[in-house]
Amino acid sequence: MTFQGSVLLPSQEALIQRMHHVASYSDQLLVLSGVSGSGKTTLVTGLATDFDESNAAFVICPMHADNAEIRRKILVQLISSPIFDDDIPLADTLLRLASTQTKPLHIIIDDAHLLPKALWAECIILNQIQCAGKNIAVTLTVPPAFLADLLPQLPEQLRRQILPISIEPLTMPEREALYQTLLRYSDQNPFTPREIVRSQLEKQTGTPQEVVNLLDKALHSAPEKTSSLVKYKAVMVTAVSMLLALGIWLGVTQPFSEEQALEAATYPAIDSPAFLSYGQKVLAPYFALRAEQLKLAAETAKVIEIETAEAKTEQAVDPLSEFHGEAPHPMPDGAGFVSVGEVSSKSFGEDKPLEDTEPQAKAAQTQPATIKAAKVDKPVAKAGLDTQKPLKGYTIQIASVAQLDTLRATLKSIEHLEGVRVAQHKQRWVVLVGNYSSSKSASNAAAQLVKEYRLEQPWVRKWADLKDYQLEESLPNREISE
Q: Please tell me the distance from the alpha carbon of residue 433 to that of residue 414, in angstroms, as a whole number.
A: 10
Residue 110 β-bridge partners: 60
Q: What are phi and psi of 385, to 5 degrees?
A: -105, 135
pLDDT value of position 15: 92
Backbone φ and ψ for 153, nearest 5 degrees, come out as -80, -15
> How does pLDDT run across 435-464, given as a tens digit for each residue?
888 888 888 888 888 888 877 778 888 888
What mean pLDDT is predicted for residues 184-205? Answer: 82
Greater confidence (366 vs 216) lies with 216
Query: What is d(CA 393, CA 464) in angstroms, rounded to the nearest whole number?
Result: 8
* Structure letter (DSSP) for residue 399: E
CB within 8 Å of 406: residues ≥ 6 apart: 341, 342, 356, 360, 361, 364
* Cβ proximity of 111 and 61 under 8 Å: yes
Per the CB < 8 A criterion, the answer to whether 33 and 141 are in contact is: yes
**Cβ 364 vs Cβ 340: under 8 Å:** yes
Give ∠ CA 332-349-338 in degrees, rounded to 5. Answer: 85
The predicted structure's pLDDT at residue 193: 80
- Cβ(6)–Cβ(46) under 8 Å? yes
Q: Each residue of 38-59: pLDDT tens digit?
A: 889 999 998 888 766 778 889 9
pLDDT tens, residue by residue, 287-304: 888 888 888 888 888 888
pLDDT tens string 248-284? 877 776 654 455 555 666 666 677 787 788 888 888 8
**Position 2 confidence tier, pLDDT thresholds 50, 70, 90:** very low
Judge whether 42 and 175 are in contact, CB under 8 Å: no
Tell me the percentage of the chain whose pLDDT exceeds 70. 74
**Largest Cα–Cα distance of the chain, in whole Å?**
146
Residue 481, pLDDT score: 58
Alpha-carbon span 226 to 88, nearest angstrom: 64
> From residue 122, how far is each of 50, 85, 116, 126 by CA, in Å?
25, 15, 10, 6
pLDDT number for residue 383: 38
Q: How far is the CA of 419 from the CAs of 159, 307, 425, in angstroms?
A: 102, 30, 19
Q: What is the full DSSP assignment across 318-333? A: -TTGGGTT-------T
**What is the residue type of 218?**
A
For 132-139, what is the mean pLDDT?
A: 87
Number of residues in the chain = 482
Q: What is the pLDDT of residues 224-242, one digit of tens each?
A: 454 555 657 778 888 888 8
Flag whether pLDDT at 100 surpasses 50. Answer: yes
